[in-house]
Amino acid sequence: MSIQDKIREDAGKIFGEIVALRREIHSKPELAFEEFQTSALVKKCLSSWGIEFTEMAKTGVVAMIQGGKPGKTIALRGDMDALPILEENDVPYVSKNAGKMHACGHDVHTSSLLGTAKILNSHRQELPGAIKLIFQPSEERTPGGASVMIREGVLANPDVKNIIGQHVMPLLDTGKIGIRPGMYMASADEIYLTIHGKGGHGAHPHMTIDPVAIAAQVIVAAQTIISRRLDPRIPAVLTFGKVIANGATNVIPDKVLIEGTFRTMDEPNRELAHRLIEETIQGISKSMGGKADLSIEKGYPVLFNDEMLTARTRASIEEFMGKENVVDLDLWMAAEDFAWYTHQVPGCFYRLGTRNESKGIVHGLHTSRFNVDEDALKISTGLMAWIAVRELERDSMG
């Protein structure tokens, strides 16, 4: 029996166990850097399987599987935190922690990586190299658990040559895998702006400095940064999603609060946009007699899938799944803190299909009705194990 057949068989054998783990994690969601129960469950599983691990980044766990043959070290990553969302699913494993929910599939990522660890550990003597398994906290909260784990040395001792991550995708049917080389996910920065003016009676605007009028000009003009100042060949989005004036029908307020986000697929473009946003907002506010307090808080960087690693990963996926089940992904303007790893070592971030319309599993990420088709767990554990094995094998063969 080939090692691929063994991995496939192993994934089938542990399917029920991984579903149970996923449901346990799902029912006890924990927010960023609060994943104490989840972390304890991960460590309990690893210990029972004889897999060595260390702790870092408060609730993070890093397991190590040393192969029986010499070779490079690669990393596999799964995130553990949940979101502050009240779950509305009617399932036996619904969240028991009110106002918290695994609405982004991190319960799947954690349980899948545990399954992958168990499979790889059973074949460790056949592996030409070593595998780090990163159970990461706080993907959902800036600056992200990845940046903390990197700072604490997760990619060193031994040095990691490349890293692979898997994420659920409710836009893809179960049985499909999505992948894209090169730029894939956007950077994400938060914009906090206060425009100060001089309030007064709505009937006497000439006696005021109207921050609402300034805000209107700022919001419209800022969009021309995207359409007229940045390279149109590079995707970029500027959105203001929160505007608070707190005046009245006949009251001009003293200030307006505005919050938004800027996203792009290129780091130099990101830096240029920040400068232009600052210049535009300050210039308009001053020209209209007001003052602007602007803060742009940098979030996750651009996620870039290394071309060579992604080509190898795609080949491995096609070997395991069949070419007909591999889908080319579009650019995705959401952000992911896996991007931090890709700025340190070559990385590949691919998508696991979890949609099943016949089961009513159609809701999007970060929604109160999000769920996954658990049949995807028949695929996720074995697929990642196979990708890891093939990556080590290819390196050992030169």
Catalytic positions: 81, 139
* Residues 104/372, Cβ–Cβ less than 8 Å: no
Cis peptide before 70 (omega within 30 of 0): no
Beta bridge partners of 165: 77, 349
Place of tokens 């469950």: 41
Which residues, including other chains, have CB under 8 Å from residue 22's CB and lie 6 or more apart? 107, 108, 110, 111, 112, 374, 377
* Residue among 144, 160, 108, 156 nearest 391 (CA): 160
DSSP states of 302-355 as a string?
-EEE-HHHHHHHHHHHHHHH-GGGEEEPPPB-S--TTHHHHTTS-EEEEEEEEE
How far is 386 from 7, CA to CA, in rounded Å? 7
Burial class (CB in 10 A: 0-12, 13-18, 19+), 170: buried
